[in-house]
Amino acid sequence: MLIIVFFVFVINIVKAQTSINSDTVCAGSTEEYKIESPDANATYTWGIYKGGGVIKTTNNSNITIEWSNKAGTDSLWVFETNKSGCRSDTATLIVVRIEAPTAQFNDQTLCYGEELQLVFTGTPPFTVEYTLNGNKTTLNNIKDNPYILSGEAGEYVLLKVSSSECAGSLVSGGITKATISKPLKKLRIIRSN
């Protein structure tokens, strides 16, 4: 009598999630991340290496993180566990937190002919919105720091500053309003008698 025995092997395959190599965020921002093409029957476990952020909410394949307000680098990680209990490789996203830009004028009152400069913190290029005598102007792609804004007479008021990665703020207690006085009339000396 011939006995044939068959062995059946069940292999559970969990595909490893792929991730973007890196992401740049504004320090102090709140960002949402998600799994690309998640498995509705799987569970996702999230975490942050180095602790530069706080997990605010998770919805299995989505997560919201409030990043630290200090510049630095962290790693966001996630792995999948399928309904059979098998675990995927861990996907990692490097997150670079950059300093939010700030802007202020170099001086509050200038004489005609002097240059009004914008002084920044943060990573260029910057975008600045300001008014000159009530007329709004936006300057994009500013790479110089300080940046020579103008020598034109009038009242300047800073409204907004941002970089390519994040919106910034005007320097608290800094100079956000400046005036360049009108040119003085030309003097002429004459003989008095």
Q: Give the 3-state secondary structure of 15-79.
A: CCCCCCCEEEEECCCEEEEECCCCCCCCEEEEEEECCCEEEEEECCCEEEEEECCCCEEEEEEEE
Name which of 171, 99, 98, 162 is nearest 126 in CA terms.
162
The answer to whether the predicted template modeling score (pTM) of the entire model surpasses 0.75 is: no
Q: Which CATH architecture has domain 22-98?
A: Sandwich (2.60)
Q: What is the CATH number of domain 102-180?
A: 2.60.40
CB environment 64-99: b (16+ within 10 A), e (fewer): ebebbeeebebebebbbebeeeeebeebbeebebbb
Q: What is the pLDDT of residues 120-147, one digit of tens each?
A: 988 889 999 999 999 999 999 999 999 9
Same fold, 22-98 and 102-180: yes
Name the residue ranges covered by the structural domains of the chain: 22-98, 102-180
25-65 pLDDT per residue, tens: 888 889 999 999 999 999 999 999 888 899 998 889 999 99
